[in-house]
């Protein structure tokens, strides 16, 4: 048996949608991107959604249009994919790494308070592995200190904080549409906001700073000449990708249901193994999408995390190391900051297979092999 960590949830509907776009002749950013944006905004419950090439470019766009630049500091959890920090560096600002809560893997509001300085301009809040961070105290803290909050919601589409979908709580939230995420367009990202001015800035920024979009120019009955009043980037999603995204968004309720059923089976089985810790849902989380299912291995075990991963791979079960600690990577190690919770979690956790098309046999095989190796 060979079981992947993740797998996209595709069928003939995505193929048909792509074929229709190709037949139309409009394959770059156009009407399908607009349709996908409108559907995504409606799902999240916000006024605006802006499609990009990735969550990385979404984060860069959000930071740039928020005025983050050289000399500024942005607080960010080290326990995250490296893009969360790289996008700050792209702007010439400094990422200031913050420790996380051991129970949720999300940024610790108490740790945030320690690092706010006169140079701090923003906080990137990562909803790690789809589990919402505790937003209310962070938003309150940001308002008291005049800080911008940007949500790195790469993994969090479909998750809910206090009964409201992630993506509609703060000013800007950025989602990933990578194949390992809940829904995918191959590569892609989406930004959500309720602020019209922010939305307009983002649309220009993702299209070279152009004053009008291609679709506006092509649909006009009179000649329209674009101008470039500001510097922008080419962060445009294609209509081919958007066509896939529209179908994926329609499947999202079914995807979430299937993921939660598998996660429930894992939690029931692994809760009886004292040597591991499983995900815990705080009271403020009203829906978890289980973008990933992680387990933490006790430090005093006879088998370490990496050996466990290799033994599972030998049995045909792919896993992934726990979330990286950015401050330990060579390009950021000069920061020389000690983050004990982050360092423990990155070395002691692993992500096990979870995707909607997993069969009952595959789920039970994973449970059996993890249990056998840890008991």
Distance, in Å, from the CA atom of 299 to the CA atom of 119, rounded to the nearest integer, reads: 38
19 phi and psi, to 5 degrees?
Answer: -60, -40
Distance CA 47, CA 159 (A): 18
Pair 192, 186: CB distance under 8 Å: no
Strand order in the sheet with 164-165: 164-165, 160-161, 285-287
* Residues noted as catalytic: 181
CA separation for the pair 43, 238 (Å, rounded):
21
- 329 token code pair: 């990577």
CB contact at 8 A, 88 and 63: yes
């Amino acid at each position: 048996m060979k079981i992947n960590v993740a797998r996209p949830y595709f069928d003939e509907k995505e193929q048909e949608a792509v074929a229709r776009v190709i037949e139309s002749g409009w394959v770059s950013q156009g009407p399908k991107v607009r349709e996908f944006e409108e559907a995504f905004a409606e799902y999240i419950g916000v006024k605006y959604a802006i499609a990009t090439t990735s969550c990385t470019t979404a984060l860069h766009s959000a930071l740039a249009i928020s005025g983050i630049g050289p000399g500024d500091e942005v607080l960010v959890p080290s326990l995250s994919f490296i893009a969360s920090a790289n996008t700050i560096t792209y702007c010439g600002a400094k990422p200031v790494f913050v420790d996380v809560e051991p129970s949720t893997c999300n940024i610790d509001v108490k740790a945030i308070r320690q690092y706010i300085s006169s140079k701090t301009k923003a906080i990137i809040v990562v909803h790690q592995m789809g589990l919402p961070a505790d937003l209310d105290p962070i938003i309150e803290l940001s308002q008291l200190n005049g800080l911008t909050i940007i949500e790195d919601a790469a993994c969090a589409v479909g998750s809910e904080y206090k009964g409201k979908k992630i993506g509609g709580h703060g000013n800007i939230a950025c989602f990933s549409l990578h194949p390992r995420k809940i829904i995918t367009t191959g590569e892609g990202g989406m930004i959500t906001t309720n602020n019209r001015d922010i939305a307009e800035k983002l649309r220009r920024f993702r299209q070279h700073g152009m004053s009008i979009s291609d679709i506006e120019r092509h649909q006009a009955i009179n000649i329209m000449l674009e101008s470039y009043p500001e510097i922008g980037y080419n962060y445009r999603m294609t209509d081919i990708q958007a066509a896939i995204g529209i179908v994926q968004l329609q499947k999202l309720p079914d995807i979430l249901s299937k993921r939660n059923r598998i996660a429930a089976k894992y939690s029931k089985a692994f809760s009886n193994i004292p040597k591991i810790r499983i995900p815990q849902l705080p009271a403020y989380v009203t829906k978890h999408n289980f973008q990933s299912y992680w387990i933490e291995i006790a430090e005093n075990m006879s088998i370490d995390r990496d050996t466990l991963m290799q033994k599972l791979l030998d049995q045909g079960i792919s896993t992934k190391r726990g979330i990286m600690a950015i401050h330990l990577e060579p390009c950021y190690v000069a920061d020389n900051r000690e983050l004990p919770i982050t360092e423990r979690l990155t070395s002691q956790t692993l992500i096990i297979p979870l995707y909607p098309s997993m069969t009952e046999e595959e789920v039970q095989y994973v449970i059996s092999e993890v249990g056998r190796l840890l008991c």
